[in-house]
Structure 1
Amino acid sequence: MADLPARARVVVVGGGVVGTSVAYHLTRLGWTDVLLLEQGSLSCGTTWHAAGLVGPLRASESGTRLVQYSAELYASLEAETCLATGYRNVGGVIVARTPERMVQLRRTAANAAAYDLPCELVSPARAQELWPPMQVDDLLGAIWLPGDGKVNPTDLTQSLARGARQRGARIAERVRVTGFTVADGAAGRRVTGVVSDHGTVEAEVVVNCAGQWAKALGDLVGVTVPLHSAEHFYVVTEAVPGAHPDLPIMRDPDGWTYFKEETGGLVVGGFEPEAKPWRAPDDLPHPFEFQLLEEDWEHFSVLMDQALLRIPVLEETGIRKFYNGPESFTPDNQFLLGEAPGLRGFFVGAGFNSVGIASAGGAGRALAEWIVSGEPQDDLVGVDVRRFAPFQADNGWLRSRVAEVLGLHYAVPWPNRELETGRPQRRSPLHERTAAAGALFGTRMGWERPNVFGPPGARLDYSWEKPAWLPWSGAEQRATRTDAAVFDQTSFSKYVVAGPDALAGLQWVCAADVDVPVGCCVYTPFLNERGTYEADLTVTRTGPEEFLLVSSSATTVRDLDWLARHGVAAQDVTEAYAVLGVMGPRSRSLLASRSPDDWSEEGFPFATSREVTVAGVPLRATRMTYVGELGWELLVAASDAVAVYEAVRAGGATDAGYYAIESLRLEKGYRAFGRELTPDLGPIEAGLVFATGLAGDGDFLGRSALEAHRAALAAGGPRRRVVSFVVESPEPMLWGGELLLRDGHPTGQVTSAAWGETVGSCVGLALLRSDGAVTAESLAGAAFEVDVAGERYPVRVALRAPLA
């Protein structure tokens, strides 16, 4: 029987590669009182049957840096622990069969240049030289990634475990966690320990790294861990001519397959377009140690047929082993990391979507830093567990979604792609009306939202070039700039903060001064201790002790958690109200014709909010815009939304969607949280110091760091800066992520881009890196270009937006 201690500072649940990485990195940071519990043996869950691919280049810079660190750690760990990880830096080849895939590979190469990673576009002949077993007659090209590697997952896990033990961590195998102890306190619920079949251990921090069991454990304490298992297949072949230990990894995403050498043969695996979900998270077998599922050659045939096309010799090659191992996937194909909202001290590191080996080193370090520092030390927004709400943890919904998500690994990553399964979840009260008007919907935080309005029978299409819906969006943009448009923005997150402590609490968490007269609206960020972004929102004072906060659709759980952590009690009223954005130069006269209230410039100035009546319906109108035109956001009870919408439409407003909003805001240079505004960036780099209280005397969260940053840059100005740009040619279509070049050299990356109908070409925002101060003069004296899938186009770059 395991001899467990009565208490430990941290208990890590799960002894796979992620759990051991968290334990290892906690001890490296000086937290040595760490206990890791594993229900079977180390690496016995998903880890042992993972393919072990380590490809550092990811879609985002934060993701790339995370896996880069993993590769560096795996290469150096043996010297520290005297246990080999099996890591070999063999490089990787990704091949393209179609023009659409070649565009993706050219964009990938440009991303690599932006992140200063080696990457080379190569011909099919060169690809075959790098990977001799394949035939290349049907290929258009490939890329060569010298930084790719492979590792032995079980050896890696054991090496991480030894490294953790060497610094004091204890590891107990064959201990099954069955529950947790929780206490209520002044700061809310907090985890206090772990209950197991070998007794209870008191703990300050619990880290749920239980893999496909993580959701069921989270459910025990009301923590949302949305993941579901799917069957994942690969085979190991007999010896293949040309296979050797240093053979690169090869990926053929148009055939949904990957290949790596193993003992003279090949691992042949992939990500089929339609996956096979396994059992629900609360119905997983126990014990399930070093086990596989039944072979399913029929399901695997879609991958094997493509493998035979790429490597004809496989027709004559035997199969040593068929692996069918379940792995957990999340609703958006990104893993889950961070402290759970509503339960302090309970952290999650799970749902790695078949990239757990590559991610484990960096994710383990990031989670350990979060635990020790009390907040993330890098941009983890894309993997933050708080991006999901409780309604997204339904097992039936997850089962539907996982069948689609697994296949996205090797699908063409179309810009603006919308997932199709598990919809709809949440609908605006205007949904039926906008659908009848031709809305083509996207989804955010479960909400169905009009992206664009098209003719009868239209569908959203995906393309690297200009899509079919662009003229429809262009018409919506013109209506907003020249007449009046109405946007269904019901999905906005909405919170009420009220009571005698409301002002003091908001003055601390808001970087701008919100002690304003009743009826005034303030644009403000939430900053962290490092002076970088945690949220971007508006705060309206609706009474002496009451405030209305309006934020991004996607950040509801994150925002509410941030407020609660800093002692601000907020009520989520998102579903109680619809929001109609009525925007454009004719918006004033239109609303005045439907209302007895004063909508004049004098009676209703910018950044003010009033209770008014429109079409006989009482509502709150706030003169605020995200499109840069005269306009109001109408906050109306959900039950009355249709009446107001129909009155506005009868007044001649054009229906418009979120694609138009994106274009319009970029023409005005308005920043967006998660793209321009991230936890890696502060208001100085973003050009938004004016939206903080730095010029005043009041203290706020992040002020000290912001002042220190300003002082450090005073001599030379910011070395990173969000800038606006306009493409000089109307020909290319930009989507975001493109490489920005200065005098022919990589200098940054596009964070957001869209077609600007008013400008007549694509516009956007980019994060520019510079050796010196980024000033209007320095920008005017340089030649800038943007790389669009290998083609370079001149752009005009400036601190001011084109329509500012």
Structure 2
Amino acid sequence: MKTHVKALVVGGGAVGTSIAYHLARAGWEDVMLLERDELTAGSTWHAAGLLPLFNMGYATSHIHDYSVRFYKTLEEETGLNAGFSVVGNLRMAQTQDRMDEYMLYAATAESVGIPVEWMTPEQIKARWPLVRTEDLKGAIYHPTDGYINPADVTMAMAKGARQRGVAIERKWQVDGYAWNGSEWRVSVTKMVEQGGNLVPSDETAVIHAEHVVTATGNHAQRTARLLGIKIPAIPVEHQYIVTEPDPALVDWRKAGNPEHPVLRDADAKWYVREERGGWILGPYERNAPARFLYDVPDSFRADLFPLDLERIEEEYMSMIHRLPSSEEVGLKDDFNGPICYTPDGNPLVGPAPGLRNMWLAEGFSFGITAAGGTGHYLAQMMVAGEAEIDMAALDPKRYGPWVTTEYAARKNEECYEHVFILHHPDEEREACRPLRTAPAYDRQRAMGAQFGCVNGWERPNYFGPKDAPKGFDHDTRSFRRGGWWEYARTEAEAIRSAAGLIDATAFAKHLVRGPGATEFLDRFTTNKLPSVGRISLTYALTQTGTVRTEYTIVRQAETAYTLISAGGWAAYDGDYLLKSSEEFMAAGGAHVDIHDVTTQWGVFAIAGPASRDVLKELVRDADPATVLGNKRFPWLSMREIELGMCPVRAIRVAYTGELGWELHHPIEMQTYLWDQLMLAGEKHGLKPVGARAQNWLRQEKSYRAFGTELGRDATPLEAGLDRFVDLQKDFAGKAAMQATGIRASCVTLLIDGPQDADPWGREALYSGDEKIGRLTSGGWSVAFGKQIGMGYVRPDLAAVGTKLKVRMFRELWDAVVVEDSPHDPQNARIRADG
């Protein structure tokens, strides 16, 4: 066994073997894979092998699409048949709401390039007469996917990896990781068979690795302890059953008919596929328990749990309903094994928090589907510095250190249950909530706030009726305009005409100070640093010149700054800041201190033409009439003020594009400040406003948002943010950004869409019959009385006035490119004096 390698991959399931293969294919030599048992001994061996392309996420859709295409090439390369049956995938719908879900999904698939077909119940019945269709609305069909043999595809990738020089070692367990400043020292122990168990022997070794990738599946909690980090990947029981041969199916195939596609009745919460003349039923039922919250027992190897047929009785009966010929067929086999989940269902792929050259590939609930693409894109990140697609949605640091084992277990159970529950784009899942609440939460709830969850924080999405019954928000969701839409529209209009108060406490806030702070931040970000008492918007870039993070920098003193960034990315941003500052100091830079102060400061954003009048009611100053005017408090500046008894760090900026301030305050005084603001605002028309209205309003100003317009697949120049990039200075990623050029351009569009729906920001854009881009954001414009969206198009189609089309609900609707900041392009309202 090698003891010095470039990269060590820990875990020999489908994901681990794919990563090892793709690292070698990307040009890395000295790659080794360790497996504590046999290859495929984890969840891979008992996986059903389905390859569902259906996914609402842009990055995950790319990953699944790559896997399906890649697996079809393995036999030619390795000589091993991966067992890929390209039978297609038919997702049936019993309701119009489900068909709307499929239409929204198809928008994402179209932007990625995944082919779909639409089928009526009559077409389904004519093609597959064993399927009952009279109660269906229709179906979406993927002709290019199907199912694969998990063991065969893993062995094919393993052979391909060996052919490219990868060493694969079985029966070695990792017992410790130690970073010495330049490489990892990985302590390993040889495992041996003893009475059917796998136990450590006396043989040990130390492997020196420049990079380590963990793909440990069900053992993720042990990996987390060894690394001293949190990994919210915990398995949940998943059962599926195999029936005896179905005579009707056997006759169907004997007559020369093709194999059925993988059938999915999402409303019944199951998938079914053919298996040796019978059927495999895989349900996603309620009350499936999480397992192995702390450890996988040594006695549990390629093992299963007892089947719980009562738990899946409803799904079993619905299969009989959908496939009447299966009613008299007996059960042949059953499986109930652990499948790893995460709280949002997406795997954890990318750099580990707080560690260097340690990469995670954990939490794969659809591991066979994702394995190929994960290996491809993770290898790009490791070898080239970044993937060609934005992988932030899968980054392990989207979960902060506040996540506990109990939280992960309960959310993962919920995620399993939600596999086939309608995925409204405005859905908010209820498990483990409320957990992180700012002090004003109860006040807001009493006012009808309907909350969303951002990095665990409860944040108002909109304010419904004060007496809203339990479940009100759930009942208002839709793939079109939900019941919440009118509330959000009223809130947006209030900010445009009077004033609105938004709780932005979830913002990530990092204090950067010390003798090296100024030099560090100057190199770290793209824009000029602000002077003391001023603010600036700026970006930190990846190695490839794309946007890693957006920051608002507030300069409090010569060597003290507060960096404010998106609320969902506190751990993600903080980790990057810390690692970058360590590199700066290691290269000879002066000392920099970085502290996450997110939970110390609450934030209210007050905006609208009457916002200054509201604040005047409360401000305590020798000259209250002018303290908030442009002379003493200009746009893009910061002042320490007092609002009643609350000291406030006020920032003259507004994400809504109106006159406004962010009011950063000691979080323990938040309830007092909320009450004072709402009381003072009564006569000025102040309304509480949620995140959905704010999202609409920022699009009217063409304000880019991280995670939509801004990400690791576009440079700030492609995003149209040249004014925030100072090309006269050196900063990290500058050369790569300039070398990239302009591959696509970010534009704002006004859309003449359907009467009952707005774009969600996932839709494909067309010029004539040619797909030329995609939306990244969408909504309703109260200023223009029509739909609005932002997205990326070919640079030659980015000119103002260009007429395009946007696909919504299978139809193309007129859209036109408008100038940036179509509402108040001169910023007169933001700069208004008082």
Q: Aligning the two structures, in what range does the TM-score lie when normalised by the shorter sequence?
A: over 0.9
Are residues 1:579 and 2:603 paired?
yes
Are residues 1:371 and 2:382 paired?
yes
Q: Aligned partners of 2:240 and 2:653: how far apart in 1? A: 54
Post-superposition shift, 1:547?
0.7
Q: Aligned partners of 1:618 and 1:106: how far apart in 2? A: 50
Q: Which residue does the alignment assign to 2:395?
A: 384
Letter in 2 for 1:787: R
Q: Which residue does the alignment assign to 2:307?
A: 295
Q: Which residue does the alignment assign to 2:688?
A: 655
Are residues 1:250 and 2:255 paired?
no
**CA deviation digits over 1:587-621, x for unaligned, max 9?**
11221221134110111111111111111322211
Q: Which residue does the alignment assign to 1:471?
A: 486
Q: Aligned partners of 1:533 and 1:526: how far apart in 2? A: 6
Q: Which residue does the alignment assign to 1:319?
A: 331
Q: Which residue does the alignment assign to 1:609?
A: 638
Q: Is the 8 A contact 2:87 2:146 kept in 1?
A: yes
Q: Aligned partners of 2:369 and 2:709: how far apart in 1? A: 27
2:172 match: secondary structure: coil
- Give the stretch that moved more between structures: 664-673 or 50-59: 50-59
Q: Superposed, which structure 2 residues align to 1:310-459 within 5 Å?
A: 310-353=322-365, 355-392=366-403, 394-458=404-468, 459=472
Structure 1 spans left out of the alignment, 5+ residues: none
Q: Aligned partners of 2:307 and 2:118: how far apart in 1? A: 37
- Give the stretch that moved more between structures: 449-458 or 605-614: 449-458
TM-align CA RMSD = 2.0
Q: Is the 8 A contact 1:587 1:630 kept in 2?
A: yes
**CA deviation digits over 1:43-82, x for unaligned, max 9?**
0110011111123353233322222221222111122222
**CA deviation digits over 1:73-120, x for unaligned, max 9?**
211112222222111322221111111011122333343333333211
2:144 match: secondary structure: coil
Post-superposition shift, 1:375?
4.1
Q: Which residue does the alignment assign to 2:294?
A: 282
Q: Aligned partners of 1:424 and 1:280: how far apart in 2? A: 25
**CA deviation digits over 1:118-162, x for unaligned, max 9?**
211111122234434311111111122111132110011111111
Q: Which residue does the alignment assign to 1:802?
A: 822
How many pairs were matched up?
A: 780
Letter in 2 for 1:359: A
User: Which residue of 626, 631, 634 corresponds with 2:660?
Assistant: 631
Q: Is the 8 A contact 1:725 1:766 kept in 2?
A: no
1:567 match: secondary structure: helix
Post-superposition shift, 1:730?
4.9
Q: Aligned partners of 2:24 and 2:769: how far apart in 1? A: 45
Post-superposition shift, 1:227?
1.5
Letter in 2 for 1:168: G
Q: Aligned partners of 2:212 and 2:747: how far apart in 1? A: 38
2:83 match: secondary structure: coil
Q: Is the 8 A contact 2:293 2:409 kept in 1?
A: no
Post-superposition shift, 1:398?
1.8
2:703 match: secondary structure: coil
Task: Identify if the C-alpha distance between structure 1 residues 245 and 36 changes in structure 2 by more than 3 Å, giving closer, same or farther.
Answer: farther
Q: Is the 8 A contact 1:93 1:143 kept in 2?
A: yes
Q: Aligned partners of 1:300 and 1:520: how far apart in 2? A: 61
Post-superposition shift, 1:277?
1.5
Q: Is the 8 A contact 2:720 2:745 kept in 1?
A: no
Post-superposition shift, 1:775?
1.5
Post-superposition shift, 1:729?
6.1
Post-superposition shift, 1:402?
1.9
Are residues 1:682 and 2:725 paired?
no
Are residues 1:498 and 2:522 paired?
no
Q: Aligned partners of 1:194 and 1:367: how far apart in 2? A: 24
Task: Identify if the C-alpha distance between structure 1 residues 163 and 573 changes in structure 2 by more than 3 Å, giving closer, same or farther.
Answer: same
Post-superposition shift, 1:761?
2.8
Among all aligned residue pairs of Structure 1 and Structure 2, give the percentage whose two residues are the same amino acid: 34
Q: Superposed, which structure 2 residues align to 1:514-529 within 5 Å?
A: 514=529, 516-529=530-543
Task: Identify if the C-alpha distance between structure 1 residues 108 and 435 changes in structure 2 by more than 3 Å, giving closer, same or farther.
Answer: closer
Q: Which residue does the alignment assign to 2:528?
A: 513
Q: Which residue does the alignment assign to 2:188?
A: 195
Post-superposition shift, 1:463?
1.1
Q: Is the 8 A contact 1:280 1:399 kept in 2?
A: no
2:321 match: secondary structure: helix
Post-superposition shift, 1:179?
2.4
Post-superposition shift, 1:314?
0.8
2:310 match: secondary structure: helix
Are residues 1:722 and 2:747 paired?
yes
Letter in 2 for 1:266: W
Q: Which residue does the alignment assign to 1:261?
A: 274
Are residues 1:706 and 2:766 paired?
no
Post-superposition shift, 1:719?
4.2
Q: Aligned partners of 2:745 and 2:243: how far apart in 1? A: 49
Are residues 1:793 and 2:816 paired?
no
Post-superposition shift, 1:404?
1.2
Task: Identify if the C-alpha distance between structure 1 residues 728 and 321 changes in structure 2 by more than 3 Å, giving closer, same or farther.
Answer: closer
Letter in 1 for 2:273: K
2:397 match: secondary structure: helix
Are residues 1:738 and 2:754 paired?
no
User: Which residue of 16, 22, 27 corresponds with 1:25?
Assistant: 22
Q: Aligned partners of 1:245 and 1:278: how far apart in 2? A: 38
Are residues 1:217 and 2:223 paired?
yes
Q: Aligned partners of 2:267 and 2:699: how far apart in 1? A: 34
Q: Is the 8 A contact 1:748 1:769 kept in 2?
A: yes
Q: Aligned partners of 2:648 and 2:188: how far apart in 1? A: 51
- Give the stretch that moved more between structures: 609-618 or 235-244: 235-244
- Give the stretch that moved more between structures: 51-60 or 485-494: 51-60
**CA deviation digits over 1:332-362, x for unaligned, max 9?**
1101111111111221111112x11011001
Instruction: Give the TM-score normalised by the residue count of structure 2.
Output: 0.90
Q: Which residue does the alignment assign to 1:78?
A: 75
Q: Is the 8 A contact 1:106 1:121 kept in 2?
A: no
